[in-house]
Amino acid sequence: RRVALLVPIIIGVMTITFVLVNALGPIQQIQSAFGNPPPHSRIQTYDPTIPCSLINPGQNGTCANPLYEQRAAELGLDKPIFVQYGLYIYRALTFQWGFVANQSSAARLTPLGALIKGQPVATALSWLLPYTIELALLSLAMILAIAIPLGNLSAVYRNRPIDQVARVFSFSGFALPAFLLGTLLVFGLVLAMGTGAFVHTPWSSFRRVRPQRDNRFLAVREPIW
C-alpha cells in the first residue's frame, strides 16, 4: 500500500514543481536549463527581440532573437501548457535535467567544477557520485565504529556515568541538524589542521545585504521624521 501511495505523491510533487518552474518567465527558464549564452556566440542575451545589427551588421530595427527561439523550442516553451507538462514529466524520467551553468555553485565549488561546466546535469552527477559514495561509506564506518561500542558500554554500565555520557552524545547527535553539525565539524577540522582560511565564505553575502538594508531604513525614516 505504501509503495502504491508513492505514485500519486511523486506525481503531485512533480506537478507542483512544474507550476513553480512555469511561474518563472521564459528567459529565466532558458537560463536555468542552459545557463548563459556561450562566450563564442555573438548574441549574449535570451531576450525575444534584439537589435538586428547583432544578426546582420548594418541592418536597423529589431529582429527575433534566433538563440531565444532555438532554446524556447528545445524546451517546448512554444507549445501548449499541457504539452509542456508532458515534456517535463518525460525529461524528468529520462534524466534530461538541463545543463550545469558556468556561474552555478556546482561549477565553481566542486572538485570537478572546471570539467562539468556546460555538461548535462545527469552527466555531472555521475561524475560526482563517487565522492558522495565515498563520504557515505566513510560516515557509515565512523558511525559503526563509535555507536556499537558506546551501545555496548551503555548496556553493561546502565545508569552509570559512562551510560550518561553516551546518552548525551546520542541525544546531541539527534538534536543537532545535519547542516549545523556538518558546519561545526568543518570548522573543527580546519582549525585542527591549521589551514587558516576557508575556500568559500557563504556568509559574505549577508555583509552585502546589511548596507542595502540600512540605506532602505534611512530612506523610509527620513520622510517620517
Tell me how far apart the alpha carbons of residues 165 and 53 are, in angstroms, rounded to a whole number: 74
Grid coordinates 506537478 are at which residue? 15
Instruction: Determine the pLDDT at residue 45.
Output: 86
State the number of CA atoms in the 13 A half-sphere of 215 facing the CB. 5
Instruction: Determine the pLDDT at residue 13.
Output: 92
Instruction: Determine the pLDDT at residue 111.
Output: 66
Contacts of 168 (CB under 8 A, 6+ apart): none
Show the low-confidence residues of the chain (pLDDT under 50). Answer: 209, 213, 216-225
Tell me how far apart the alpha carbons of residues 196 and 186 are, in angstroms, rounded to a whole number: 12
**Whole-angstrom distance between the N-terminal and C-terminal Cα of the chain?**
64
C-alpha cell at 62: 529589431
65 φ/ψ angles, rounded to the nearest 5 degrees? -75, 110
pLDDT tens, 151-181? 888 888 888 888 888 888 778 777 888 788 7
Considering just the CA atoms, what is the radius of gyration of the chain in Å? Answer: 26
Helix (H) or strand (E) holding 24: none
Q: Please say whether the beta carbons of 99 and 35 come within 8 A.
A: yes
Tell me how far apart the alpha carbons of residues 96 and 94 are, in angstroms, rounded to a whole number: 6
